[in-house]
Structure 1
Amino acid sequence: MDTWLGSNPLRVQFPSLYLITTNKKALVSECYRKINSGRLWDWKWERIPNSESELRELNDLYSLLQLQRISCSKDVWYWHNFEQQDLSTKVVRQALNRNIDLNDPATDFVWNRWTTNKSLMFVWRAMEGKIQTAAALRNRGLNIPDTSCKICGAAEETAEHVLIQCNFAKRIWDKIANWIGIPMINLEGSIKDLFQELFGLQRSKKVRKAIHAIAIQTMWALWKNRNGKVFSNKHGPVQLITEEIKEASYKSLKARSKYTSITCQEWWDFNVVW
């Protein structure tokens, strides 16, 4: 199964022989016997190889084995192109450095541990344009007759539209902005633009981190609302979704930060002493 002799596994190099071997997951050490100072290769076949292809492959296999030095040491893992070194973190890092262009810009997404992993992964994928909106599915080749937003119907359903530009989403963001006491943010750009604006707020570092966590939770709530409309024809009211965002972000903060003494009322009023 493994590549140890030649550039491919033996089952690929010798398919006719592989079909008639009894133990298709045999170890190398199970396929030979030591005789004095040499080795006798001894495979277990379902029948003796007799066809032209089987005999040709068997001859080629013996020729390869004669060139191969078999050691008595234990098996070890190697990283491709680093066969002279045992597998280690250093070797993996060296291999990755060969294949990563360090001049490429890093992702602009900030991993905020004050919110859930599920919402973090979702927003990261949304920034990369990889969530399954109608427009994205159409671009992947699916036959989507109608790619308009299922919430407002006023524009094509893209990640930016569902999460920030839809009229319904804007009403949610307006409520959130009023709650956390910031000026109404620009919702006409991209998701990246929105986060850059939030990070530029004249607030303390901890408050900006809390606002960032709330923004991630808001996008996750908007997406769940969108899915409810698409799959169950259920569409939550603005006030209810806003309250769900407050509740979910409060629970995440309590569970994932050191600010466990913050009360629900303090968070609801966004009157927190950090």
Structure 2
Amino acid sequence: MVNWREILANIEQGGLGVRNLAEVNDCLLLKWWWRRVWSDILQLVHKRPAPVEFYLSNLKLSVGNEDRIHLWEDKWLNNLYLKEEFPRLYSLSEEKGCNCSAFVGCKEFTHYHLQTPLHYLNVYLYAFGEPLAWEEEEVLRLHELLRETPTLSLESKDSCQWMANPEGSFTVASAWKWWMYSKGPNLNVTKDLWKNFAPSKVKFCGWLVWRGRLKTVAVLKNLRVLNEDSDSLCLFCKSEEESVHHLMLFCPFVDMMQWWGLVWVLPGLVKDLLLWWSGVKFSKIVLRMWKVIPLAVMWSLWKARNECLFSGKPVEWNELAELVNVRVALWSKLNIEGMHYSVQQIVTNLHQTKACVGRRRLPLG
């Protein structure tokens, strides 16, 4: 069995990329919030704090001549809420819901006239008796903060900019990209597992092997599908327990790699094998062939194991190795545009084929 969280994880992070509908809905809600950017969305902060925080941190407001931006309750100044920066002044203010444009051109003040670059942005904070000394300090601090603001433009409307997108407009894709990145880093191995020209079922088999979820005897015993006293010996060598790593690595893998002319020290785990595999450098075309080799080996081994188990068909290693070669050659022939060699030529003259296609710049299919 595969954990549901692994299925929902992004492909680049080791999952299957099945999208969580609740997370998709949150990203779509951000689009709705963007279209109605002046709506009160903070009521959702307790239900979905992460997307709300992301939204507010990437939203930049520009003050214009409309009444949409609120002085205290919007992040229009240095990405700050004035009500949070000056909680005492906000609690004393009689104009908590006031907007910035309401103070433009106002010449009547109750106690304080804070003349700022915002065309005389007049902030009358409260209508009560003489303030205390520390309250005056807060007023002066607010005054200094407002001096740093850009000039309010009476010729333009209130506007907003989405900082997560270079174009400045909100996209659901930018929100989803952030959501995926917040879950963890991308893995190089998964890129090679999925971004190649092997059939989808072969890629999925490779993913199960990498995750250790292929239903070998050891896995089935761990899931209690098989009894502890069930025969667990490998069908190929009859000497060790059939685990994912033994089946895919220690039986025939080394012999099969002779076709590629590879001499190496075999890793002990499948994930180490694939990690090493992803670090090998070839020309672009040869690299595309290289990426599908472990998948072809794993797929062929698994099919041969099942035929041996359920049909009683003995395994002929020479034929199995030849079958892996043919599969790699066939997939390469069908998916690499400009590959003029036949399947037979690729199989019998692999080194010459690699040398030729490595020097040529064939168009990538």
String of CA shifts for 1:148-169, please: whole Å, max 9, x gaps: 2122222221211111112xx2
Partner residue, 1:137: 220
Query: How much has 1:115 moved relative to structure 2?
Result: 1.9
The answer to whether the aligner puts 1:192 opposite 2:277 as a matched pair is no
Letter in 2 for 1:115: A
Query: How much has 1:120 moved relative to structure 2?
Result: 1.1
Specify whether residues 225 and 117 from structure 1 end up closer, same or farther in structure 2 by C-alpha distance, changes over 3 A only: same
Contact 1:123 1:220 in 2 (8 A): yes
Letter in 2 for 1:129: G
When the two structures are superposed, what TM-score results if normalisation uses the length of structure 1?
A: 0.59
Letter in 2 for 1:218: V
Alignment of 1:80-229 (within 5 A): 85=31, 90-91=171-172, 94=175, 97-98=178-179, 101-106=182-187, 108-109=189-190, 110=192, 111-144=194-227, 145-166=230-251, 169-170=252-253, 173-174=254-255, 176-183=256-263, 185-201=264-280, 203-229=282-308
String of CA shifts for 1:83-138, please: whole Å, max 9, x gaps: 58569x94476368457644345362212423222111110111011111111112
Query: How much has 1:210 moved relative to structure 2?
Result: 1.2
**Structure 1 unmatched runs, 5+:** 1-77
Query: How much has 1:200 moved relative to structure 2?
Result: 4.1
The answer to whether the aligner puts 1:246 opposite 2:331 as a matched pair is no
Specify whether residues 96 and 156 from structure 1 end up closer, same or farther in structure 2 by C-alpha distance, changes over 3 A only: farther
Contact 1:226 1:235 in 2 (8 A): no
Contact 2:234 2:247 in 1 (8 A): yes
Contact 1:126 1:159 in 2 (8 A): yes
| Aligned residues with identical type, % of pairs | 22
2:321 is paired with a residue whose SS is helix
Contact 2:219 2:243 in 1 (8 A): yes
Q: What CA RMSD, in Å, does the superposition of the two structures yield over aligned residues?
A: 3.0
Specify whether residues 237 and 82 from structure 1 end up closer, same or farther in structure 2 by C-alpha distance, changes over 3 A only: closer
Instruction: State the aligned residue count.
Output: 191
Specify whether residues 217 and 97 from structure 1 end up closer, same or farther in structure 2 by C-alpha distance, changes over 3 A only: same
Letter in 2 for 1:182: L
Partner residue, 1:235: 314
Letter in 1 for 2:259: W
Specify whether residues 129 and 81 from structure 1 end up closer, same or farther in structure 2 by C-alpha distance, changes over 3 A only: same
Specify whether residues 242 and 196 from structure 1 end up closer, same or farther in structure 2 by C-alpha distance, changes over 3 A only: same
**Structure 2 unmatched runs, 5+:** 1-23, 34-169, 358-365
Letter in 1 for 2:233: S
Q: Which whole-Å CA distance do the structure 2 matches of 1:107 and 1:200 have between them?
A: 9
Larger radius of gyration: 2
Query: How much has 1:237 moved relative to structure 2?
Result: 0.5
String of CA shifts for 1:37-65, please: whole Å, max 9, x gaps: xxxxxxxxxxxxxxxxxxxxxxxxxxxxx
Contact 1:195 1:212 in 2 (8 A): no
**1:256 aligned residue (319, 335, 341):** 335
Q: Which moved more, 1:214-223 or 1:148-157?
A: 148-157
